[in-house]
Amino acid sequence: MGWIIAILVIGLAIAGLVGGAVLHPLLYGLFIASILIVPLWLGSSIVYGIIDAIFGKRR
């Protein structure tokens, strides 16, 4: 978990440092993508955990 937060912080820092440079839209896009991917990844982990708990009890 810690490394995911670190990646987000580093991505935000890089995007802020680059500012209005040519790469900024690309870095900003990567940062937004990471923001979108992390909740999906966490959500899928939680869903799989719930499914495993439900079906695990039925076996």
- Listed in sequence order, the residues at least 6 apart from 31 whose beta carbon sits closer than 8 Å to its beta carbon are 8, 11, 12, 15
User: What digits encode the pLDDT tens for the residues 16-54?
Assistant: 766 666 666 777 788 788 888 888 888 888 888 888 888
Which pLDDT score, from 0 to 100, does residue 56 have?
A: 80
Mean pLDDT of 2-6: 79
Which residue range forms the structural domain that includes residue 11? 2-58
Count of structural domains within the chain: 1
Which pLDDT score, from 0 to 100, does residue 39 have?
A: 81
Q: List Cα–Cα distances, 39 to 18, 20, 30, 51, 55, in angstroms.
A: 26, 28, 15, 18, 24
Predicted confidence band of residue 7 (pLDDT cuts 50, 70, 90): confident
In contact, 17 and 28? CB cutoff 8 Å: no
Phi, psi of 23, rounded to the nearest 5 degrees: -80, -10
Mean pLDDT of 1-16: 77
